[in-house]
Structure 1
């Protein structure tokens, strides 16, 4: 369950979060259903300039029923007659598409009226005219229509100081540029193709709506870690919860296995009974609104199956899978039969998979000796169903450690100087948990990975020789330096 409403003023705001506008494409209703089913959409605006009134009435009824089913506000664009016929929750007007006073008289005081604006003067006039919210833009160039008035996040920030009603930022907004307009004071962001043209409209809606968590007070966002317990405290559940908490989110946990472990290695593993693992996950997801799930050690095939079943049942889309297979000393943490479950069921359910090179080799059957091999493995994992893949390059020997992110279209590299130390216990767990935490706090994926990479590099740099083997990284000092930077 995602936090959709941002309350800046201490009183209820009726327009906030992800504001989805319909397109003219085929299969509109199924695409809108998937987007609304994500729980990420707060308002739907039906905009249709092509169909006849009868066709718009029929399609509008279908969309209205979806909004009722998913408890989303239904807004009609520029057509008062259609808004009245559909008993819509509101009407959105362009600058030359109707009289707000006449719309208010016809719709009554409980319906929403929004007005598109392109300047400070238009915005203040709309507020004076009694609008419940304004659309402001275009913030970025857009393909949906020719942009006459291009604005900027800076202009929106100036507008925010003068306007008391909610502001919906409009125009060319997507996952990777929305943060600037949210930070500038937008209560909502309006999107079309960023959701409805996506391969998975539900996932795209979830990604964008999660960005509004950046406006919350700490702890911002919630992360459930499903992993094994490390009695030595350097990796597993312990490293995950340290990371989640120190970086400012709320952490919950479900333990897949207990390990007897210290800096020298693992001496014993006791897998959680599958039914009890299921009970832990149910206890959390049935009560606590979790934004991101992070998966680490799974141990047994039965537990891997349970996790896959629960992710499916609760429709968790934001899943970071760290395919842990062995401890630092080489002890297996994943039974051979569980690898098949990982590949067939958990990789396709994952938003991001974060294998190191040996793990990527085990998952794909490839041999990786350089960055080209890392890219090939990332493509293979994407074809296996992972939405995004981050192959970590720490097992190569270069002086610079480069991790490679693949999103299905292109590669992004994240590099940092190698820190020469043996105290690297828990680096994989920490990186995946930091990414999950950054996502839960409203960072888009590229930024979430970059910030996590910086955090882990600092944690390794500040690591201390605790114990007689591979010591843990230093989460505390890394978080303190990151907060100060």
Structure 2
């Protein structure tokens, strides 16, 4: 006789992902709406220490409606009466701000109850009491609350070993330090100012939510490349899909143009009909959950307009734009009218723009002869609307190739020794695709650029002569090195 055993130990956790806590600032509803519309927020916690009860009740109803619209769990902080009246999805209690047993009796077993903890002992006590999740922190210093002890990711590792409940990491978490928290075992990260004080709360929420992809099995994250096809296989769609796949993500494509080309140059270009390009993009984005879009060769103004329209319609925020203008042999790959569309519509839609020096000069009208000129061009492109700009320095003559990343405030430099070879076909496509891939896998932008730079440098180093012109870089050996 067979006995059926059901294992409940792996049951889905109800608290995971990005946990957004409200602030006390003005225009809260539109800022929360933009953050929730990103699709990256899993839980919204309404925290309000200043307004009257009636004001909290009115605002709470509005916030709950937003959560229902975007299918986000709605939690009330430290106010059981308000949680009950709003029929919230749960309540979050501080150590001194409520009675857990009373909250469970009032809310029932189907509502979520979280408890703030600051030590292993408090976390174990919350688990023993029957909490659905714990908040643990503060992980880092924070501007929103004075904290006596900073726990750090190391303390979170210890709590994760002892506690089976979902853990929401709290305190001072932002895009650039969240990875250590997620890697330490947090199921969720709680943020306030990192999203709600950002210039674009929707983009900030998207950046943070993507970091959880680092926990996925391979293929980890998905990238859509919108670019031209290179019949020689060294650049364009072919280089993009090789890069995305070899680095461990899922690659989809929409082809803007067919080219007849090899290592010696381009002998023919056939733009995709605009309606068919639109069909390709719709087919992918209406079905496959794409994390990052990478754009390369656009060719015609009509196709550039189509791409801009679709990015807007699907609200794609993570867009890496490689403004391809000429092939290695000097053949133009973009019409003048398309360049105008690129500048006016696609640059402002981009999370990152990755021009080389000639492309940066064409986009900005500046002449670039050194790193100071690169910085000036980066500022100009940021003023044109790009959220981040990476100017590639390969066209300068120094023995060290330096790329410069600008985020609107600060510059980061990424340098590597120049590899003396003519086999550099597809380097721009490969770099942009590698950055898009690492973003899709849960790397914050500075780390994604660094890893992509290392990958491309290795791909150039390992390049083998194929054909009689500018040979392609070696994606395979570079990716193998990256894994090892």
TM > 0.5 fold call: yes
Residue 217 of structure 1 deviates from its aligned partner by 0.3
**Residue matched to 1:341:** 341
CA RMSD, Structure 1 to Structure 2 (Å):
0.8
Q: Secondary structure at the match of 2:394?
A: coil
Alignment of 1:36-435 (within 5 A): 36-435=36-435
Residue 149 of structure 1 deviates from its aligned partner by 2.1
Q: Secondary structure at the match of 2:20?
A: strand
**Residue matched to 1:452:** 452
Q: Whole-Å Cα distance in 2 between the matches of residues 473 and 111 of structure 1?
A: 55
Q: Whole-Å Cα distance in 1 between the matches of residues 153 and 246 of structure 2?
A: 30
Q: Deviations over 1:56-76 (max 9, x none)?
A: 000111100000000000000
Dislocated runs of 4+, deviation >6 Å: none
Q: Whole-Å Cα distance in 2 between the matches of residues 304 and 175 of structure 1?
A: 31
Instruction: Give unpaired runs (5+ residues) of structure 1.
Output: 1-7
Q: Deviations over 1:284-316 (max 9, x none)?
A: 000000000000000000000000000000000
Q: Deviations over 1:227-265 (max 9, x none)?
A: 000000000000000000000000000000000000000
* Match status 1:477 vs 2:477: yes
Q: Whole-Å Cα distance in 2 between the matches of residues 302 and 68 of structure 1?
A: 38
Q: Secondary structure at the match of 1:347?
A: helix
Q: Whole-Å Cα distance in 2 between the matches of residues 294 and 37 of structure 1?
A: 22
Instruction: Give unpaired runs (5+ residues) of structure 2.
Output: 1-7
Residue 13 of structure 1 deviates from its aligned partner by 1.0
Residue 11 of structure 1 deviates from its aligned partner by 1.9
TM-score scaled by length of structure 2: 0.98
Q: Secondary structure at the match of 2:165?
A: coil
Q: Whole-Å Cα distance in 2 between the matches of residues 26 and 373 of structure 1?
A: 40
Equivalenced residues, count: 477
Q: Whole-Å Cα distance in 1 between the matches of residues 350 and 438 of structure 2?
A: 16
Q: Whole-Å Cα distance in 2 between the matches of residues 218 and 156 of structure 1?
A: 26
TM-score scaled by length of structure 1: 0.98
Q: Deviations over 1:191-222 (max 9, x none)?
A: 00000000000000000000000000000000
Q: Secondary structure at the match of 1:32?
A: helix
Q: Whole-Å Cα distance in 2 between the matches of residues 10 and 480 of structure 1?
A: 33
Q: Deviations over 1:343-399 (max 9, x none)?
A: 000000000000000000000000000000000000000000000000000000000
Q: Secondary structure at the match of 1:374?
A: helix
Q: Whole-Å Cα distance in 1 between the matches of residues 255 and 202 of structure 2?
A: 29
Q: Whole-Å Cα distance in 1 between the matches of residues 11 and 336 of structure 2?
A: 55
Q: Whole-Å Cα distance in 2 between the matches of residues 379 and 75 of structure 1?
A: 41
Q: Whole-Å Cα distance in 1 between the matches of residues 98 and 346 of structure 2?
A: 51
